[in-house]
Amino acid sequence: MTMLTDFGYILLFIIAAIVFVAVILFLAKLIRPNRPNEEKLTTYESGEEPDGNANVRFNIRFYVVALIFILFDVEIIFLFPWATVFGNKRLIAETDGLWGWFSLVEMFVFVGVLLIGLAYAWIKGHLDWVRPEVKTTEYESKIPTSLYDKINQKYSQ
Amino acid sequence: MEITSTLFTAKAIYVGIIFAITLGVAAYSTYFERIIAAFMQDRVGPDRAGPFGILQPLADAVKMFMKEDFIPANSNKWLFIAGPCLSMLTALMTSAVVPFGDQLDLGDGIILDLQGIDVNIGILWVFGIVSLGVYGVLIGGWASNNKYSLIGAIRAASQNISYELAMGLSIIAILMLSGSLSTKSIVETQQNGHWNILYQPLGFVIFLVCAFAECNRTPFDLPECETELIGGYHTEYSSMKLGFYLFSEYINMFISGAVMATLYFGGYDYLFNDYVAQISWLGEYAYNVSALLGLVVLIVKALIFVFIFMWVRWTLPRFRYDQLMGLGWTGLIPLAMFNVVLTGASMLFTVNDGGSNWMTVGASWAGVIIMLVVTFAYSEMKYKKKKLATA
């Protein structure tokens, strides 16, 4: 049996999944009530009137992360074929053990380049997210703190 | 592939059974999730529908079917329907390459693999379908035309792609050990107790964390973080479409449990399978009995992982978003790269010098311990410096 016919079974899986989803949705459509009105169909915004279009601007960092991801994902795909031949006993035996060292060093170089890329993004601050900061107030109260201590002492007994 | 052949019929029945098992497990995961939550929080949990509440999933299903379903006026109608369908499809399709068991001998020379299909790119299929899962959430969240949904969807996409990298790198370490992308041969190299967890302690931890993030489970459930985003990407959904989103999460949990068992815990391997296959009084059925036991063993292993998913949900609080991205990019990815290098080095030292497998095991654990000590010492040093600076 060749690979191509084997993939027929994957098609079987896909068809079964599509049929399942379609049947369930159709059944649900048959038996559920359907009485829409204007209030039901408005966008939910915590009970307020929806304000403007919902396709708002979002943080640019999501975009940067997606870009970095694509670079890294492509590089990982290159590692997959390498990983399958790395421990190949025949190749190691034929080259008298040299194959392992050669491919390991090669991979070191490759992962090294990956790491430099990651370090660059890291140092440039593309991986930092806005985090909440604790701000100390500069306001100085006219009431001396000793007064508070007195009150605390009075009521702690 | 002849449509009328017995093998095809057997395969079709197998697909049906696998779907039934996945859906059944997913349905009852919702019940056990509540029971476990109740146990951990010292309450009773669902106990009204049937004895001990075991009919609760049925009651939920009926509710999902009977609820009114409305599509918001401002939404993109077709994408709104496509989102949850895509989530469900991708969740169901992953199980095609998971080897649920060894072969069954059906007589007449027909041998049925207890696996949807043994392709030589098995693990890439899992990896690819998991990446497609992002689209379901992203399309659904965008099509709702709701601010909360949009933010939830973007968070989900960003989180999933970030953790996919570390996941891919930890899979690469497994591939180095097995030398094949086929899930079946990954399991076969682990037979008789040579489970990959012995060689890959660090890789397993990375994979487990990534699985939590990919399934959007606590502590990584920021896409549906109800205190900030109401329902997250499924705020606007109701009825069966909401059911699809929730259901696909539970299916993903089960399937990722099965994948983790396959990759790290020997798949359908159990301690006495050679012994069971040779029991004399079972006669010709002994081999089939051993294969079916393997199927049960794999499902039990996957269920243990499902339990861990629930246990963690009621143990750990949710991350903050910068912590989440920090862990993914600056924690797990460097660790996973270290793991690849460590695996390569520990394999080389033993393969080239003709050492035994146990030396590989020792080398990989020693590497992890050295890494832990170095990290601990470094953070201790940094902490002391910080303390000096502030004092």
For residue A2, pLDDT beyond 50: no
Chain A residues closer than 8 Å to B234 by CB: none
Which has the minimum average pLDDT: B111-115, B157-161, B278-282, B303-307? B278-282
> Is A84 within 8 Å of B180 when comparing Cβ atoms?
yes
Which one of B100, B138, B150, B161 makes the best mutation probe of the A interface by having the most chain A beta carbons within 10 Å?
B161
Please name which of A82, A41, A17, A123 lies closest in space to residue B144, comparing C-alpha atoms. A41
How high is the pLDDT of residue B109? 66
Which comes out higher in pLDDT, residue A32 or B223? Answer: A32
A1 band by pLDDT with thresholds 50, 70 and 90: very low
For B303, other C-beta atoms within 10 Å of its C-beta total: 18
CB-based contacts of A113, cutoff 8 Å, min separation 6: none
- Candidates B7, B22, B69, partner chain A, best to mutate (most A CBs within 10 A): B69
3-state helix, strand and coil shares in percent for chain B, rounded to the nearest 5: 75, 5, 25
Rounded mean pLDDT, B44-61: 85
- Read off the pLDDT of residues B173-206 as tens digits, 9 standing for 90 and up: 888 888 888 888 888 888 777 788 888 888 888 8
> Could you please report the per-residue DSSP string of A31-87?
HS-----HHHHSPPSTTSPP-S-S-----HHHHHHHHHHHHHHHHHHHHHHHHHHHT
Terminal Cα distance for chain B, rounded: 76
The residues spanned by each domain of chain A are 10-123
Is B114 in a helix, a strand, or coil?
Answer: strand
Residue A66 and residue B288: Cα distance in Å, rounded?
48
Q: Which one of B15, B146, B239 has the shortest CB-CB distance to A12?
A: B15
End-to-end CA gap in chain A: 87
**DSSP code at position B51:** G
Residue B100: list chain A partners with CB under 8 A.
Answer: none
The pLDDT, as a whole number, for residue A61 is: 81
Please check the confidence at residue A122 and state whether its pLDDT lies above 60. yes
What pLDDT is attached to residue B387?
A: 66
**pLDDT, mean of residues B31-41:** 89
Res A118: pLDDT: 82
Q: Would the pLDDT of B1 be above 70?
A: no
Q: Which of A5, A53, A80, A107 to mutate to test the interface with B (most CBs of B within 10 A)?
A: A80
| Confidence band for B2, pLDDT divided at 50, 70 and 90 | very low
What distance lies between CA A100 and its chain's CA centroid? 34
pLDDT digits (tens, 9 = 90+) for B342-352: 888 777 776 65
> How is chain B split into domains, by residue range?
6-327
- Express the helix, strand and coil content of chain A in percent, nearest 5 each: 65, 0, 35
Flag whether pLDDT at B13 surpasses 50: yes
Distance from CA of B232 to the nearest CA of A (A): 12
Is A10-123 a domain of CATH 3.40.50.300?
no
Does residue B389 surpass a pLDDT of 70?
no
- Tell whether the model's pLDDT for residue A3 goes beyond 50: no
Only one residue has tokens 């004092």, namely B391
Tell me which residues of chain B, numbers 260 to 319, contact chain A at a CB-CB cutoff of 8 Å. Answer: none
Side-chain half-sphere CA neighbours of B356 within 13 A? 3
Closest residue in A to B344 (Cα–Cα): A104
For B266-275, write each residue's pLDDT tens digit.
878 777 766 7
pLDDT score of B127 more than 80 = yes
Compute the average pLDDT of residues A93-102. 74
Q: Residue written as tokens 């500069």?
A: A138
What's the complex ipTM?
Answer: 0.76
Q: What is the mean pLDDT of residues B362-385?
A: 78
Residue B130 forms contact with A (CB below 8 Å): no
Contacts with B201 (C-beta within 8 Å, 6 or more apart), sequence order: B364, B365, B368
By the 10 Å C-beta count (0-12 exposed, 13-18 middle, 19+ buried), A83 is classed as buried
Distance from CA of A133 to the nearest CA of B (A): 12
The pLDDT, as a whole number, for residue B391 is: 55
pLDDT at B390: 61
What percent of chain B has pLDDT above 70?
A: 90
Does residue A38 register a pLDDT over 70? yes
B32-36, B105-109, B291-295: range with highest mean pLDDT: B32-36
